Amino acid sequence: MGSAARKVPLCIPDMGDDEIAAAAEVIRSGWLAHGPKNHDFEEAFCHFLGVKHAVSVNSCASALFLAVHASGIKGEVILPSFTFVASANAVVTGGAQCVFADVDYETCNLNPAAVEAAITPRTEAIMAVHYGGQVADMEALAKIAARHKLLLIEDSAEAIGATQGEKKTGAWGLGCFSFYPTKNLSTGEGGMFTTADQALADKCRAIAGHGVASSTWAREKKEKPWLRAATYAGFNFRMSNLNAALGAVQMKKIEPMNAARRKHAASYNLKLNKDLFDLPVERPGFTHVYQMYTVKAKGFDRTLFLAKMREKGIGATVHFDPAVHTQPYYAELAASKVPLPVTDRLTANILTLPIYPQMSEDDVAYVAEHANAAAAACRT
Ligand SMILES: Cc1ncc(COP(=O)(O)O)c(C=O)c1O
């Protein structure tokens, strides 16, 4: 099946004529910086998630930083080490301290019992990371947060549209989303901050725009548009009108794009050899949106396996190794001395296979066939 020249990359963003037309419209309008498309994108995002406020920014890293910084958190934040380093970076650069808690091997998400055990008098927030498209157990985490009066931050970079019960990620706590090209919805670079708190949304919007409460676009309609009064010491975390235009188009396709990912995941689940791979588990009551299709290696050499997959033109890779607590900056911190056995085991075994909406059934079959063969050939 397939020729040697065949390529199945890890991911291709699902962009087409509608995104090209939207980008062209913005370029012709001459309004390239933060502008009216941000409003359109934010409105559509609020509607999709069922949240009150959404602030478009230039990355999820910025949204996470805003969540910590604008909330004034200076104490401990409990988060997984099994995540992309941006989650932890936001805690540290926001002026707070990381406390790493272990995750569940099946879902790769925070273990609520480990979170509860990590709470100290200095704990101020829990940062849940929804790994690879599946929501962390937010019902349990929200109960813990309420019991201990902690703020709940959601790193929803990898789980746009994923649900637990009826509720989507970013609707439980302070939501932080990424629109990097590997994500379920892309704007090239980009992010979104969501909250039910109007005052916090206004503060984040201002801090993201040099500390000035109104944007240039909004001031255009005012009598004295030149008045720019900073109410905070701010940054420039704004998303451009061009990126927002892409986001507004992508919002219209998010449900079919997520449905296509789920279809491909179901197909992988049927085709992969269960003696060689632990497959992803969609827990009852949860909807997984498969930002990544990750499996765990069972008894074969992962490095050799990945080399064999690359030879076949397949963009299989690893998310995440090394875990944050072992990365040079974080390894020095006290939080990293706590044992995280499940995280360590996952880090050693996890594997990501290609998944994106436009994959064909034949692409999935090609990857699965070569994954089964490569794993069998690399048994330890
Ligand atoms: C869990 C997680 N958090 C944060 C980020 C950072 O997103 P961005 O590149 O938009 O800053 C990513 C992106 O890879 C991620 O996977």
Q: Name every protein residue with a CB atom under 6 angstroms from any ligand 1 atom.
A: 59-61, 83-84, 86-87, 129, 155, 157-158, 178, 180, 191
Is residue 240 within 8 Å of residue 217, measured between CB atoms?
Answer: no
Q: What is the share, in percent, of the chain residues with pLDDT greater than 90? A: 93
E-assigned strands of the chain? 53-57, 76-80, 97-101, 123-129, 151-155, 163-164, 167-168, 174-178, 191-195, 277-278, 286-287, 293-297, 350-353
In this prediction, residue 218 carries a pLDDT of 81
In this structure, the residue with its CA closest to atom 7 of ligand 1 is 60
In this prediction, residue 4 carries a pLDDT of 56
Q: Does residue 1 register a pLDDT over 60? A: no
In this prediction, residue 335 carries a pLDDT of 78
Q: Which of 37, 183, 203, 296 is catalytic?
A: 183
Tokens of 207: 């801090």
In this prediction, residue 272 carries a pLDDT of 98
Q: Does residue 357 register a pLDDT over 70? A: yes
Looking at ligand 1, which atom is closest to the CA of residue 178? Answer: 10
To the nearest whole number, what is the mean pLDDT of the chain? Answer: 96
- Out of 83, 103, 127, 178, give the residue to mutate to test ligand 1, the one with the largest number of ligand atoms within 8 Å of its CB: 178
For the chain, domains (ranges, CATH) are: 17-253 (3.40.640.10), 255-377 (3.90.1150.10)
- Catalytic site includes residue 183: yes
In this structure, the residue with its CA closest to atom 14 of ligand 1 is 84
Name residue 236's amino acid.
Answer: N
